[in-house]
């Protein structure tokens, strides 16, 4: 590995993260389960239905429009399990607190965790707390792990994506990333930008309950929509084409991005799922999503093809490759 | 809660931690599984055999005699599952890295994780990496969660401790705590002090395999032996009597503690299990433990009584209460 020091890019979810995983973590931890690098690990045995996932949350600021580090720590883990077709059931939560951290803030975060886990119908069953000296951490870091169960017949996996599948997203992209940037820099842009942070399990399970054939899902977090599409294309050995004018982008996000020169396709979300659906079930799935509060602006944004790579059909009729970025546009987004 | 700010004591595993759990975490997260506050959570359903645990590791320094933050992050989680009678199987691992952290150090830690998880026969199946700006974390924090399975008949729990049970420990106390203190302060005491950090599952499962009736176990970490005994006495509503001259303490640990005025009964370990065994199986259990490399100095150190509280019978014949300390003697011990 040419690098000698960890940089912020290594935590971006982009190419530098992929190199870190490939050249260090897989070198030492490789096994057939880990190597799939899906949103949750599928545990063999136990009648083939336990899924397991983990995420650390270091978002800054810890309170932002639309959420806080507590809410995001539940949503992130719930959505990772949901993306694998599991019903999230049990969470662990581990706090690393900085000496001097405010009790009132901790209590607010805990109250938010309670509210979100109730909505997502998950139980926090175990936890841990460590405190480090002032200056050795930034306020509060939270790591949540989750266990979910799925029907063994429900074989959802990014490896199953097939040419002809439609690509659906349940609403606008970029909201979370910009909400954080705005909160951090206090830019006071007109048009309030609110994080889309939300637990998506109830919405997705409504699709399952009504028999929609979903081939694969991935929640859009660090690295944005572009990164998720590239991961799917690579894992399944297919090509992907998305239509720029079909991708929902909220008006304030669009203007903000234009001013700052940011691309919403690379900005993080915390309440968006990219769904690969069999063609025949696409309309049914879209209808169910649109009926849910987190899916009102759902849209079919593209199609899986026989080719390779991810391409964006631009609004003016051009076609350009949509690559995975070297590093994220913003650090500590989640 | 009278406090307004988080202090290092809140991460000590002592009374301040218990208050934080009782007054904040249980207030918001309370449910019948979490409220048991055992080393691992027992998940209902699934034929009653899945156990789940989590721990964050912030030990400083990250490399110390006998281990490093990688080794300890595997041992801690493996031992928490083992303490509940489970066979540890799958781990998640989540890194929070400080920008500028050395790749060589990360690779050394990963190699240590690999070695320890191989010894403990556990697979790392999922993970995450976040990077924060220089100064926002201290080098590296690791959170591991673990899943283990146990025979539903093997109903090990701290709540099951009964008067008449013998209390066994698998060797000397205080080694880890002092190894960290020595490494941190570079005291260069004669007589090298090495952390006892070790995965104890193979040793404990040898006891199960040979049919030893173990009622309960708890691994001795933050807060030391005294804290574990108090937790057991409280959960089971029993009294505990331990004999000072039966508790194994390594010679350099003893001298070091005398000089510094520290009590080894409150110092952390990372490779010690307190075992509550039915009287009739005590000798058999002790023999199996002594045959294992991590149990050579195992000893019966006390007995569960009908009373209340924990008492220490001193070497000179006195009897004094052994209470839970307000805060730990050392922060960032694990």
Three-state SS string across chain A, please?
CCCCECCHHHHCCCHHHHHHHHHHHHHHHCCCCHHHCCCCEEECCHHHCEEEEEEEECCCCCEECCEEHHHHHHHHHHHHHHCCCCEEEEEEEEEEEECCCEHHHHHHHHHHHHHHHHHCCCEEEEEEEEEECCCCECCEEEEEEEEEECCCCCCCCHHHCCCCCEEEECCCCCHHHHHHHHHHHCCCCCCCCCCCCCCCHHHHHHHHHCCCCEEEEEECCCCHHHHHHHHHHHHHCCEEEEEHHHCCCCHHHHHHHHHHCCCHHHCCCCCCEEEEECHHHHHHHHHHHHCCCCCCCCEEEEEEECCCEEEEECCCCCEEECCCCCCCCCCCCC
The percentage of residues in chain A with a pLDDT greater than 70, rounded to a whole number, is 95
SS3 B89: strand
What is the model's pLDDT at position A213? 87
Confidence of residue A190 (pLDDT cuts 50, 70, 90): low
Judgement on whether residues A233 and A107 belong to the same structural domain of the protein: no
Judgement on whether residues A74 and A43 belong to the same structural domain of the protein: yes
Mean pLDDT of A161-172: 96
CATH number of the domain that A251 lies in? 3.90.650.10
Mean pLDDT of A245-253: 95
Judgement on whether residues B127 and B170 belong to the same structural domain of the protein: no
What is the model's pLDDT at position B188? 65
What is the model's pLDDT at position A28? 95
In a domain, B2, yes or no: no
Judge: A143–B138 Cβ closer than 8 Å, yes or no.
no
Q: Is the pLDDT of residue A63 over 90?
A: yes
In a domain, A292, yes or no: yes
- Chain B residues whose CB is inside 8 A of the A147 CB are 43, 50, 52, 147
What is the model's pLDDT at position B305? 95
Judgement on whether residues A145 and A162 belong to the same structural domain of the protein: no
Q: How far is A203 from chain B (nearest CA, A)?
A: 24
Judgement on whether residues B166 and B75 belong to the same structural domain of the protein: no
In a domain, B332, yes or no: no
Mean pLDDT of A213-225: 93
Judgement on whether residues B123 and B192 belong to the same structural domain of the protein: no
Judgement on whether residues A167 and A315 belong to the same structural domain of the protein: yes
Domain boundary among B149, B183, B213: B149
Judgement on whether residues A223 and A86 belong to the same structural domain of the protein: no
What is the model's pLDDT at position B329? 59
What is the model's pLDDT at position B191? 64
Domain boundary among B119, B149, B179: B149
In a domain, B109, yes or no: yes
What is the model's pLDDT at position A151? 83
Q: Does A188 touch chain B (CB under 8 A)?
A: no
Name the A residues in 202-241 with CB < 8 Å from any B CB: none
Nearest to A43 among B28, B54, B125 (CB): B125
In a domain, B1, yes or no: no
Judgement on whether residues A169 and A231 belong to the same structural domain of the protein: yes
The percentage of residues in chain A with a pLDDT greater than 90, rounded to a whole number, is 76
Nearest to A3 among B103, B124, B125 (CB): B103
Judge: B103–A1 Cβ closer than 8 Å, yes or no.
yes
Q: Does B26 touch chain A (CB under 8 A)?
A: no
More confident residue, A96 or A328: A96
Domain boundary among A94, A125, A149: A149
What is the model's pLDDT at position A152? 78
Instruction: State which residues form the domain around A317.
Output: 158-321
In a domain, A2, yes or no: no
Q: How far is A119 from chain B (nearest CA, A)?
A: 13
In a domain, B3, yes or no: no
Complex ipTM: 0.95
Test the A interface: residue of B116, B136, B142, B327 with most A CBs within 10 Å:
B136
In a domain, B331, yes or no: no
Domain count, chain A: 2
What is the model's pLDDT at position A42? 83
Judgement on whether residues A216 and A314 belong to the same structural domain of the protein: yes
Q: Is the pLDDT of residue A6 over 80?
A: yes
Nearest to A8 among B93, B131, B149 (CB): B131
- Taking only the tens of pLDDT, chain B with its 334 residues reads 456 899 998 988 888 888 999 889 999 999 988 988 888 888 876 665 899 999 999 999 999 999 999 999 999 999 999 999 999 999 999 999 999 999 999 999 999 999 999 999 999 999 999 999 999 999 999 999 999 998 877 889 889 999 999 999 999 999 999 999 988 876 666 668 999 999 999 999 999 999 998 999 999 998 899 999 999 999 999 999 999 999 999 999 999 899 888 999 999 999 999 999 999 999 999 999 999 999 999 999 999 999 999 999 998 889 999 998 776 657 899 9
Average pLDDT score over chain A: 92
Nearest to B6 among A3, A7, A97 (CB): A97
- How many beta-carbon pairs under 8 angstroms link A with B? 278
Lookup result for tokens 């806080």 = A68
Backbone angles phi, psi at A209, to 5 degrees: -60, -30
CATH number of the domain that A25 lies in? 3.30.1330.10
Judgement on whether residues B67 and B164 belong to the same structural domain of the protein: no
Judgement on whether residues B134 and B208 belong to the same structural domain of the protein: no
Q: Does A79 touch chain B (CB under 8 A)?
A: no
């Amino acid at each position: 590995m040419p690098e000698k020091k960890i940089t912020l890019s290594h935590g971006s979810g982009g190419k530098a993260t992929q190199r870190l995983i490939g050249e260090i973590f897989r070198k030492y931890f490789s096994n057939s389960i880990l190597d799939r690098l899906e949103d949750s690990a599928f545990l063999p045995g136990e009648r083939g239905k336990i899924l397991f996932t983990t995420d650390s949350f270091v978002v800054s600021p810890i309170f932002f429009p639309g959420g806080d580090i507590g809410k995001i720590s539940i949503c992130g883990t719930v959505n990772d399990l949901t993306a694998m077709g599991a019903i999230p059931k049990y969470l662990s939560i581990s706090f690393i607190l900085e000496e001097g951290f405010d009790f009132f803030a901790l209590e607010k975060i805990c109250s938010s965790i309670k509210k979100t886990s109730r909505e997502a119908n998950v139980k926090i069953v175990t936890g841990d707390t460590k405190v480090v000296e002032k200056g050795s951490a930034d306020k509060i870091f939270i790591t949540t792990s989750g266990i979910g169960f799925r029907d063994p017949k429900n074989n959802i996996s990014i490896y199953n994506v097939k040419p002809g599948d439609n690509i659906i997203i349940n609403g606008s992209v970029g909201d979370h990333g910009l909400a954080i940037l705005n909160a951090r820099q206090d830019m006071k842009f007109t048009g309030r930008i609110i994080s889309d942070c939300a637990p998506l399990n109830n919405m997705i399970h409504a699709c399952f309950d009504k028999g929609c054939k979903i081939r694969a899902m991935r929640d859009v977090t660090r690295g944005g929509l572009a990164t998720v599409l590239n991961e799917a294309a690579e894992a399944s050995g297919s090509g992907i084409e998305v239509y720029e004018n079909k991708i929902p982008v909220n008006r304030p996000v669009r203007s903000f991005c234009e001013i700052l020169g940011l691309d919403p396709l690379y900005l993080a979300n915390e309440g968006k799922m990219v769904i690969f659906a069999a063609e025949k079930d696409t309309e049914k799935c879209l209808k169910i999503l649109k009926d849910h509060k987190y899916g009102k602006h759902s849209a079919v944004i593209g199609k899986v093809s026989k080719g390779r790579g991810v391409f964006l059909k631009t609004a003016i009729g051009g076609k350009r490759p949509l690559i995975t970025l070297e590093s994220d546009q913003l650090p500590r987004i989640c």
